[in-house]
Structure 1
Amino acid sequence: MQILRQSFLAALTAATLLLATSGCRRSHFPDVPPGYREFAYVTNGAANTVSVLDIVNFRQDRTLEVGANPSGIAVNPLRNEVYAVNTQSGTISVIDTENNRIAATIGVHRQPYFISVEPSGHRAYVANSGSNTVSVIDLDRRREIAVAGTGEQPGLARISPDMRSLVVTNRGSNSVSIFAVAPREDSPHPGPILRLRAAFPGCPGATDAVILPDSSKAFVACSSGHQVMAISLSAAPDSWAARQDPSLTADHLLALLDVGQTPVHLALKPDGGEIFVSNFGSDSISEISTYTNEVSNTFAIGSKPVQGIVSADNTTLYVSNFGADSISIYSIDDGHLIGNVHTGSAPDALAFSADEHVLLATNAHSGDVAVIRTQSKQGPTLFTMLPAGKSPNAIAVKAFTSTR
């Protein structure tokens, strides 16, 4: 019996390795057009690398050497580039996705963690936790063009969809900074790129933040406590909203909303109507209405929920349970848990493939990525596992059609 069991495990291991290196059958998924390419980029914090995963053929494409302790990663929406933040090196690695190579390295400041790319694809914003600053990067010229002081230990700098407001969360000073962002240099209204517009104290351990699609509000997770801060963002002086109510031209605090303990991540529905808060310390998810600025529901989800993501049709929430080695699936319309999918050890960051037929989950402890089919007769199921590096902590997906 022992010999049979060993033979079975050996065969299973060999099959898994073959699957990871040679790829899975594309016939399980919709066809893609000629020249279509899609890759997932995973920052491996303890390996100083970025893993490139081929999401068309479901295999590892290559591993890129970057700076020390890569953390955040972001995609340019208009250009075939991806940007990895190297926390210990104080740099940004520019990845050319056409060739999957490092095209440039941009210096910023001490201990950057997160990068946000504006919708135009021309600028990016980096919070430098070790220097209490935020950097503005010109992505066309691949260099820093401005730097501004923030609160203590800024962890995140997120640009609004209208590109007028930059929201910075300051973990060390328990505050949120709001900057006005000047238009590009070819604008007829020149001025400083960043101007501090408002600051809001009273958000212990401020970490994650989301901004509504209409750029009217920001919500910030106060991770050292049990609240989410809701902020009204300044409207443009010539906008319809400002003409109706001149007070809307100033940023102001709307509410501090009680959620669960240690809220670490905010998942915004694509339509902007609701936010789902991952309460790491109380094994729950809180649902916030962005229209009323109220918590409508809190429900148990799994051990140590750390991140959530909502499908494009606004119907389904997926939550990575760091302490349960699973992904929970929650039906937003029906208001109940659909089921759970087992992953590797300590699932963390999540990302959809472009068509959302696949959900990718990085596993922090096992150093791999779970590939979950979102659409099948059995419901969401684990399809395969792809190798990453040591301590993967962020993931981004880029899809494009190559002309070569």
Structure 2
Amino acid sequence: MFQILLGILKFPPKLSWPITGANTSDSGGVTISVGGQALWPTLTLALMLILPVTANAQYAYITNNGGNTVSVIDTLTNKVSATIPVGSRPFGVTATADAAKVYVTNQEGTVSVIDTATNTVAATIRVGSHPYGVAVTPNGAKLYVTNQEGTVSVIDTAANRIIRTIPVGNRPYGVAVTPDGRKVYVANDEFFGSVSVIDTATDSLAATITVGSLPIGVAVTPDGTSVYVANEYDDTVSVINASEDKVTATIPLNSVPLGVAVSQDGAKVFVTSPHSGTVSVIDTASNIVVGTIRGSFPFGVAVTPDGSKIYAAHQESAGTVSVIDTASETVVATIPAGDSPVAFGKFIGGPPNSSPPAATRHLPIDQPQIADRMTLGIPAAQ
């Protein structure tokens, strides 16, 4: 690798490695020489090419239902980096796997398509009445939107148009796609609760599963084996075996569960309850509640891609977002958001190319500690 770099950078033919010295100049910078010749510009470019990137930007897109906006939170700094105007009463939200796009349901009957490179609305798609949940397939090709009228709109994301409308149960709410992209689970918010299962190959109803009363949120484990459904009215969470599409466990919560998210390793499920002001922690091995995190009025909940933090949106007029450390299960930060943040869905992602190759990092070499680590193959200490 480095021989290629040497050729590209065109070192003088009589100069040879290794670096023979690093001297601090009067200005406080570092001068590095090879064979007596200073290589400041050359090594600056070399460092730009070989030093690895350690920070990976991830963003939380929070729908503010009362403010008609989306707050963009940088999860590295826990600060709002942008506010995006969208449609009327935004509710559901999801990001594509590559995080190039974010989709937001607006209860006026539209979906806003956000380009995350510019944090602007690139398109608006009309769907059914009062859309709530939204989920995108792992390959980003199709979008599934639940409409209060009892249907799911299937959208071709390349054309931003509806290609099919699927009848499901009454008042469909939450929606989730399996990791392999083969199934979609839709929670129907009806008294005799049910979950509709959609076959994505045919975009038709494949099964209907009876769950608890008034199911709202739904999430699939990363391995695709289990589906967790929050039942608002009877204060339970239904656990569905995804291979058989049958309920295998019912977990009592003693609260009013709404939002659901699963940890990246699949070991824990996090369930929000606005009425009790809590986030319940469920151990997926035993399907028992093992912890309770206190909040304010949590609704939407999501886990960062690295699994280190949970973000919970509190649906209040002076809305906030709590940041929860997954290791200690404690709130470590509170971020002001917009009016009545909901963030119902998988609302955390990163910008396009958020994990750039090492060749894109720009670092000056005016620090002695960097010069001291110029031996080939050793990155600068962070």
Q: TM-score range by the shorter chain?
A: 0.5 to 0.7
Share of identical aligned residues, percent? 27
The 8 Å contact of residues 111 and 127 in structure 2, kept in 1 or not, is answered as no
Alignment of 1:15-30 (within 5 A): none
2:216 counterpart of 1:264: yes
| Structure 1 partner of 2:53 | 33
Paired letter, 1:86: N
| Structure 2 partner of 1:314 | 266
Distance in 2, matches of 1:261 and 1:300, equals 13
| Structure 1 partner of 2:174 | 208
Residue 260 of structure 1 and its aligned partner are, at CA, apart by: 2.5
Gaps of 5+ in 1: 1-31, 151-167, 169-174, 177-202, 237-248
Residue 325 of structure 1 and its aligned partner are, at CA, apart by: 0.5
Distance in 1, matches of 2:145 and 2:240, equals 27
The 8 Å contact of residues 364 and 393 in structure 1, kept in 2 or not, is answered as yes
2:117 counterpart of 1:87: no
> In 2 relative to 1, CA 347–230 (structure 1 residues): closer, same or farther, beyond 3 Å?
same
Paired letter, 1:393: V
Paired letter, 1:334: S
Aligned length: 300
Residues 82-108 of structure 1, C-alpha deviations (whole Å, 9 max, x = no match):
2333332x5443433234x31523242
Residue 65 of structure 1 and its aligned partner are, at CA, apart by: 2.1
| Structure 1 partner of 2:369 | none
Residue 290 of structure 1 and its aligned partner are, at CA, apart by: 2.6
Distance in 1, matches of 2:111 and 2:337, equals 20
Q: For 1:37, what is the secondary structure of its paired residue?
A: coil
| Structure 1 partner of 2:122 | 104
> In 2 relative to 1, CA 342–71 (structure 1 residues): closer, same or farther, beyond 3 Å?
same
Please say which structure displays the higher CA radius of gyration. 2
Gaps of 5+ in 2: 1-51, 362-382
> In 2 relative to 1, CA 355–231 (structure 1 residues): closer, same or farther, beyond 3 Å?
closer
Aligned partner (choices 99, 118, 139) of residue 120 of structure 1:
139
Please give the TM-score of this superposition, normalised by the length of structure 1: 0.64
Distance in 2, matches of 1:131 and 1:300, equals 28
The 8 Å contact of residues 114 and 126 in structure 1, kept in 2 or not, is answered as yes
Residue 401 of structure 1 and its aligned partner are, at CA, apart by: 3.8
The 8 Å contact of residues 79 and 121 in structure 1, kept in 2 or not, is answered as no
Distance in 1, matches of 2:248 and 2:151, equals 35
Residues 269-313 of structure 1, C-alpha deviations (whole Å, 9 max, x = no match):
122222222111111222222334433322321421102211122
The 8 Å contact of residues 92 and 104 in structure 2, kept in 1 or not, is answered as yes
Greater strand content: 1
2:244 counterpart of 1:226: no
Residues 325-380 of structure 1, C-alpha deviations (whole Å, 9 max, x = no match):
01111112234322111112x211111112110000011125111100001xxx31
Paired letter, 2:311: L
Residue 256 of structure 1 and its aligned partner are, at CA, apart by: 3.8
Moved more, 128-137 or 58-67: 128-137
| Structure 2 partner of 1:52 | 72
Distance in 2, matches of 1:132 and 1:219, equals 13
| Structure 2 partner of 1:352 | 303
Paired letter, 2:255: S
Residue 46 of structure 1 and its aligned partner are, at CA, apart by: 0.8
Paired letter, 1:104: A
The 8 Å contact of residues 368 and 386 in structure 1, kept in 2 or not, is answered as yes
Distance in 1, matches of 2:178 and 2:141, equals 21
2:12 counterpart of 1:63: no
2:296 counterpart of 1:277: no
Moved more, 61-70 or 126-135: 126-135
Distance in 2, matches of 1:135 and 1:229, equals 17
Distance in 1, matches of 2:135 and 2:334, equals 28
Q: RCO greater where, 1 or 2, for CA within 8 Å and sep 6 or more?
A: 2
2:342 counterpart of 1:390: no
| Structure 2 partner of 1:11 | none
Paired letter, 1:353: T
The 8 Å contact of residues 109 and 130 in structure 1, kept in 2 or not, is answered as no
Residue 251 of structure 1 and its aligned partner are, at CA, apart by: 6.1
Distance in 2, matches of 1:339 and 1:288, equals 22
The 8 Å contact of residues 62 and 72 in structure 2, kept in 1 or not, is answered as yes
Please give the TM-score of this superposition, normalised by the length of structure 2: 0.68
The 8 Å contact of residues 357 and 374 in structure 1, kept in 2 or not, is answered as yes
Alignment of 1:357-376 (within 5 A): 357-365=308-316, 366-375=318-327
| Structure 2 partner of 1:339 | 291
Q: For 1:306, what is the secondary structure of its paired residue?
A: coil
> In 2 relative to 1, CA 271–135 (structure 1 residues): closer, same or farther, beyond 3 Å?
closer
The 8 Å contact of residues 134 and 143 in structure 2, kept in 1 or not, is answered as yes
> In 2 relative to 1, CA 216–353 (structure 1 residues): closer, same or farther, beyond 3 Å?
closer
Paired letter, 1:106: T
